[in-house]
């Protein structure tokens, strides 16, 4: 029985069992279906977050994948449910070793509502991941840092420098992503500077 069919037929689901099923390590079919199912069920978030610490690396990695997908355009109820675990997720960020865990968390956690201090803690960890062996992890870390800089202006100068360096000497994926992120951040910075000038002379 395919997971998509099973999910739409029942409101009860053994989430761990479904996350452990994968025809191929790069197959995301089940992850997409689970993410769609959870989007309408914020009460499933505690179980999903718990599975990030599962002893089975495949389950943990896929739980992180689901979490990243549901936080792309999360409803207010879904976002509140995830943000109840903000501190736990930030703590887990420092423990994550697997590449798939890292790249999903690097994209997910900066989407949460974070304090300035939390932004800086997350940024410290993501900075360390820029030396990761995985190009995907490094590219995701850059993306996460850019998202944090949009929230915490004290990070902007350092993040812009990192993006410029990555644009010059990073992997092809890092160079391509850095160009996009640089354009977005620099455009946002120019808008802030114009608003500041207007306020100064009003």
Helix (H, G, I), strand (E, B) or coil at 116: helix
Please say whether the beta carbons of 60 and 101 come within 8 A: yes
Token pair for residue 164? Answer: 């410029």
CA 159 – CA 17 distance, rounded (Å): 40
Please say whether the beta carbons of 104 and 68 come within 8 A: yes
Q: What is the pLDDT of residue 127?
A: 96
Instruction: Report the candidate in 74, 67, 125 with the shortest Cα–Cα distance to residue 100.
Output: 67
CA 106 – CA 108 distance, rounded (Å): 6
Instruction: Report the candidate in 29, 96, 31, 99 with the shortest Cα–Cα distance to residue 68.
Output: 31
CA 149 – CA 157 distance, rounded (Å): 9
| Residues 94/107/162/167 CA torsion (nearest 10 deg) | 140
Token pair for residue 128? Answer: 């360390």
Residue ranges in the chain assigned as alpha helix (H): 3-9, 15-20, 29-39, 45-50, 57-70, 76-83, 86-95, 99-108, 116-129, 135-151, 156-169, 172-201
How is the chain split into domains, by residue range? Answer: 1-84, 115-202
pLDDT, one tens digit for every residue, the chain (202 residues): 334 434 443 456 788 988 887 544 444 558 898 999 999 899 999 999 999 999 999 999 999 999 999 999 999 999 999 999 999 999 999 999 999 999 999 999 999 999 999 999 999 999 999 999 999 999 999 999 999 999 898 999 999 999 999 999 888 999 999 999 999 888 866 665 555 444 444 5
Instruction: Report the candidate in 121, 117, 182 with the shortest Cα–Cα distance to residue 146.
Output: 182
Please say whether the beta carbons of 62 and 30 come within 8 A: yes
DSSP state letters, 27-58: --HHHHHHHHHHHT-GGGHHHHHHGGG-SSHH
Q: What is the pLDDT of residue 4?
A: 44
What is residue 170's DSSP assignment? S
């Amino acid at each position: 029985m395919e997971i998509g069919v099973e999910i739409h037929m029942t409101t009860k689901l053994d989430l761990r069992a479904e996350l452990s099923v994968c025809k191929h390590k790069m197959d995301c079919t089940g992850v997409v279906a689970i993410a769609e199912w959870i989007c309408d069920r914020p009460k499933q978030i505690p179980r999903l977050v718990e599975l990030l610490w599962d002893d089975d690396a495949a389950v943990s990695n896929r739980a992180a994948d689901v979490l990243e997908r549901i936080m792309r355009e999360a409803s207010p109820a879904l976002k509140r449910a995830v943000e109840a675990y903000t501190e736990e997720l930030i703590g887990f960020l420092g423990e994550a070793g697997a590449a798939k865990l890292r790249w999903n968390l690097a994209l997910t956690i900066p989407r949460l509502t974070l304090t300035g201090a939390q932004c800086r803690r997350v940024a410290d960890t993501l900075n360390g991941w820029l030396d990761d062996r995985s190009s995907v992890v490094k590219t995701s870390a850059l993306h996460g840092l850019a998202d944090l800089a949009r929230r915490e202006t004290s990070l902007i100068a350092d993040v812009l420098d990192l993006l410029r360096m990555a644009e010059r000497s990073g992997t092809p994926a890092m160079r391509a992503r850095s160009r996009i992120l640089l354009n977005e951040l620099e455009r946002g910075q120019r808008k802030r500077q114009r608003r500041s000038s207007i306020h100064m002379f009003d």
